[in-house]
Structure 1
Amino acid sequence: MANVRKIKNRPRQDGSVKVSWRATWAGPDGVRQSKNFDLKGEAKAWLDSVSAGLVGGSSTMTVTQLAEAHIANFHGLVRAGARRTGTADGYQSILDTHIRDHKIGRTRLSNLRSPDIQGFLDEVVQSGGSINLARQIRRSLVTWCRFGARRGWLLANPAQACAVEGDGEKADSEPFSLPSKDQLAALVKAATESTNPERDSAVVRILMFGGLRISEALGMADDAAAVRTTGGKLRVKERLDRTHRTLDPPKTKKGQRDVPIGQTTALAVRAWRLKRGPVGHFQHVDGRRERRLMPGRLFPNPKTGEGVWGYEDFIRDCWMPLMRAAGLVMMLPDSKGKNRPVAEFKPHVLRHVAVSLWLAQTPQPKPKKVQELVGHATLKMTMDTYGHLWRDEEEDDAIAQASERLIN
């Protein structure tokens, strides 16, 4: 990929021929570069400098070492509060599970090329990995190589040019099915008749009519819910990390938002607070992995009356009993052939339900308003997910009428 060769130039008028030396090198993105020198030694020196643009002048840094350097730097940003712990864990998981023991992980940066990475991504999919997994791996490699380029360890980002088949179809744009109105009504009824109707009604209504993610509902501080008898507002400023149970800020700035709730949901929250009683501050770990004093949660741990209510505990002790009572549980065989209960839909589906209910109104809220309410980072994400729910009957009628006039 790198070489120095002798170049004979065109003869001069006096008949002499000047000889030069051309150093050629292919960058990490596969683009070839070259430069001419009068001396062979100068050409070799230049070639060594560009092909070994790594830490300490060493050309031995591997993809695994690059990833480790990035993750170590990322943990420093987590401690500074600029990044989230969960993201660092995701990078570490990709490195340990898919990169470290693969030949791509042992590849030196000086030899890393786009076709190497593309072949690796194709291999992930062909060996049974999901499209989403391949996308996650690609995003990690792009991030690591970008980090390496900023440090001067790479002259280009060889992962940037790579793609995953079907990469244009993002996870958020995948079609989803909404429960029927009868199913939703059965869930609301089950919540009002449960062993803890005040709590269950409040959490179901917040998810169904507020469009919160379950992590946002479980991570919400009690003082973030401002309710009155006629309605209220939920201030989303924290989320509960599912794996570590840390209280993190939302993933993006758009995730921090105020969500209005109607009278019935506000009254459900008030009833739950009266039943629950006051909640005090407690010691807990935040997104920086630092232990500090936190205000009480709207939905504290049911067993202790304080702290956080973990996702798995919520599913086991609240969601599945409600789904059973509503007749929304199926018995399906697991990998060992034993039947196990599976809910008809997960709590996150209620977020889609909330948006569909907003868009069923007349007039419909504008896309930008829906983006603000759901906390999407971009308007494109909102339209990719819910664009099919917008309607414009006047425009549809105008199109139909105009198309007929073209023939008559």
Structure 2
Amino acid sequence: MASLERNSLQPRNGRARFSWTVRWRRPGQKHQAEKTFQTKAAAEMYKAKVELGMDGQGDRQTTVLDAAEDMLREYDGLVKEGLRKPCTLREKDAHVRNHIAPHEFAGRLIAETGTADIKDHLKELMRRGVSRHTARAVLVTIRLTWEHAVEKRVIPDSHAAAAAMVRLKGKNTKRKADPASIPPKADIRELFAAAAEAAEQDRGRRHAMVRIIAHAGLRSGELRALMEDSLILDKRPRVIVRRSADRKNNIFEKPKTDAGFRTVPLPPQAVSALRAWMVARPHTDDGFIFPSETGGLWTYERLYRVWCLTLRDASLATHRIRQKRRRKGGRDLIEREKVWEPEFSPHTLRHVFASAHIETGAKPKWIQEMMGHESLQMTMDLYGHLWPSTDQDLEQAARAAALFD
């Protein structure tokens, strides 16, 4: 191992001065080698390089593309273990394939690639028409590649720290989220009534589904992955959101972000519908609250079909003809089928949940936490127009100013 020592120098103008010496022993040599630096940062960086070269595990011939592809292989393993989402892997793979591999940047040795090289590459991408938003996403993949290279002892920690300091200045070209569109309260009442009336046909599945989405703000993937250990209907009824399922029926045991893990209180209307459903639901060995008819994970396609039927019964869906193209006997055939097209999706009930609480006085931070938003900015982009303004803002400003009178 290398060592780092501080040396006291002759004071200048009454100020203490120091230098920093890195000492190490090369394999097969009796005497220590040393090198002195004027700054601690430079000495620490050199010390890391020395230790990397000493342990024999560093590969100085690894290119940026080699490191990126190795990172993707490890990320694929995390996806198979259920620790990462397949959609994120596809995004990272697209970044490497489209924005790293075809460029000269990919062939550079990663140990010799610094922050200036990373910035130059990102600027080159934008000169070729890549949006600033996409360039920033590619930068995240580059940082992940550098962190992976550190774990593999290909580069020292200081290189990853330097990559983390890279910033792209300028306004992001990504369009912010549009304000949420909220259905009229009368439509939601009709939806609740239609779902309750269907209890004799589906044992209460629809009623429990619409109630928990509207009163807890669950995403469809969170609803499908909801299990018995996450639903408390006794004292202080609440739902603990800790799992999610994607449309390919993969279940993730932890949310994508820490904000996704949350506890949402349940009102009596939701508790009543859920208790009735828990008694009548199909048998499931996995503990799903909303299992399929065979007890497994409820697919998104089945959920959406039930949703369309519920909105049909509430007169909130329209009948239309959908064309499907398929190939049979070497010929392309066009089939027509009648489908019900709902006026809004299950996700809209999340907006209903947020708007109802805003109307009854909830604060932005509470809405952010209950919705599982990663940032308050996302909450304000979606629902900022629902909070009262004008006169109340003026009154609030006057009260704040009066504190100093």
Maintained 8 Å contact 2:179/2:383: no
How far residue 202 of structure 1 moved from its aligned partner, in angstroms, is 0.7
Counterpart for residue 66 of structure 2: 65
Aligned to 1:22: none
Change in CA separation of 1:65 and 1:296 when aligned onto 2, cut-off 3 Å: same
In the alignment, what sits opposite 1:239?
A: 244
Taking the aligned partners of 1:333 and 1:164, their CA distance within structure 2 comes to 46
Indicate the residue corresponding to 1:139 in structure 2.
Answer: 140
Q: Does 1:352 align with 2:351?
A: yes
Identity %: 28
1:298 aligns with 2:303: no
Give deviations 1:159-187, integer Å, cap 9, x for gaps.
Answer: 8646497527575x432222222332333
String of CA shifts for 1:370-403, please: whole Å, max 9, x gaps. 233222334444344433322267633437989x
Aligned match for 2:383, one of 357, 381, 386: 386
Contact persistence 1:198–1:272 (CA under 8 A): yes
| Residue identity matched to 1:174 | D
Amino acid at match of 1:210: A
- State how far apart, in whole Å, the 2-side matches of 1:101 and 1:330 are: 48
Residues 275 and 133 (structure 1 numbering): CA distance in 2 closer, same or farther, change over 3 Å?
Answer: farther
Counterpart of 1:217, as a letter, is L
Shift in CA distance, 180/246, structure 1 to aligned 2, threshold 3 Å: same
- The residue identity in structure 1 corresponding to 2:223 is A
Is the 2:204–2:280 contact (alpha carbons within 8 Å) kept by the matching residues of 1? yes
> What SS class does the counterpart of residue 84 from structure 1 fall into?
coil
Give the structure 2 partner of residue 89 of structure 1. 89
Where 1:398 maps in the other structure, the secondary structure is helix
Asked if 1:371 corresponds to 2:368, the answer is yes
Q: State how far apart, in whole Å, the 2-side matches of 1:371 and 1:88 are.
A: 23
Q: Give 1:55 deviation, angstroms.
A: 7.7
Over 3 Å counting, the alpha-carbon distance change for 1:388 and 1:62 in structure 2 is farther
1:252 alignment partner in structure 2? 257
How far, CA to CA, are the matches of 1:55 and 1:344 in structure 2?
A: 60
Shift of 1:105: 7.3
Provide closer, same or farther for how the CA distance between residues 324 and 57 of structure 1 changes in structure 2, counting only shifts above 3 A. same
1:312-331 residue CA offsets vs partner (Å, 9 max, x unmatched) = 3322x312223344333475
Contact 2:284 2:296 in 1 (8 A): no
1:269 is displaced (CA, Å) by: 0.7
CA contact (8 A) 1:191 1:322 kept: yes
**Local SS of the residue matching 1:345:** coil
**1:323 and 2:294 aligned:** no
Structure 2 contact 231–240 (Cα < 8 Å) conserved: yes
Equivalent-residue separation in structure 2 for 1:197 and 1:105 (angstroms): 60
Specify the alignment match of 1:206 in structure 2.
212
Query: Which runs of structure 2 are paired with 1:170-181 in the superposition (5 Å)?
Result: 173-181=177-185
Equivalence map 1:281-292=2 (5 Å): 281=285
Residue 267 (structure 2) pairs with residue 262 (structure 1): yes
Check conservation: 1:202, 1:269, Cα contact below 8 A: yes
Query: Closer, same or farther in 2 for the Cα pair 1:74/1:181, shift >3 Å?
Result: same
CA contact (8 A) 1:67 1:95 kept: no
Which residue, out of 225, 228, 233, partners 1:227?
A: 233
CA contact (8 A) 2:309 2:340 kept: no
* Counterpart Cα distance in 1 of 2:185 and 2:347: 16
The answer (yes or no) to whether the contact 2:224–2:297 under 8 Å persists in 1 is yes
Matched, 1:185 2:189: yes
Tell me the equivalent position of 2:330.
none
Normalising by structure 2, report the TM-score: 0.65
Asked whether the 8 Å contact 2:227–2:287 carries over to 1, the reply is yes
Q: 1:393 to 1:94 in 2, by over 3 A?
A: same
- Say if 1:314 and 1:210 are closer, same or farther in 2 by CA, change over 3 A: same
Report the alpha carbon displacement of residue 310 of structure 1 after superposing the two structures with TM. 1.7
Partner of 1:272: 277
Deviation at 1:57, TM superposition (A): 4.9
Matches within 5 A, 1:91-106: 91=91, 93-95=93-95, 98-99=98-99, 102-103=102-103, 106=106
Residues in 1 aligned to 2:149 and 2:178: alpha-carbon distance in whole angstroms:
33
Separation (CA, whole Å) in 2 of partners of 1:94 and 1:262: 44
Distance 2:321 2:107 in 1: 44
The alpha-carbon distance between structure 1 residues 308 and 57, as it changes in their structure 2 partners (threshold 3 A), is closer
Are 1:313 and 2:302 counterparts? yes
Identify which range, 231-240 or 151-160, moves more after superposition. 151-160
**Residue identity matched to 2:103:** K
The equivalent residue for 1:40 is none
Superposed CA deviations along residues 88-123 of structure 1, whole A, max 9, x for unmatched, are 634554257534763367442446442222332564
Distance 1:312 1:62 in 2: 44
Unaligned residue ranges in structure 2 (runs of 5+): 1-45, 326-333, 400-405
RMSD of equivalent CA atoms: 4.3
Matched AA of 1:214: S
Opposite residue 391 of structure 1, the aligned amino acid is: P
Q: Secondary structure at the match of 1:347?
A: coil
C-alpha distance in 2 between matches for 1:210 and 1:244: 22
Q: Is the 8 A contact 1:207 1:350 kept in 2?
A: yes
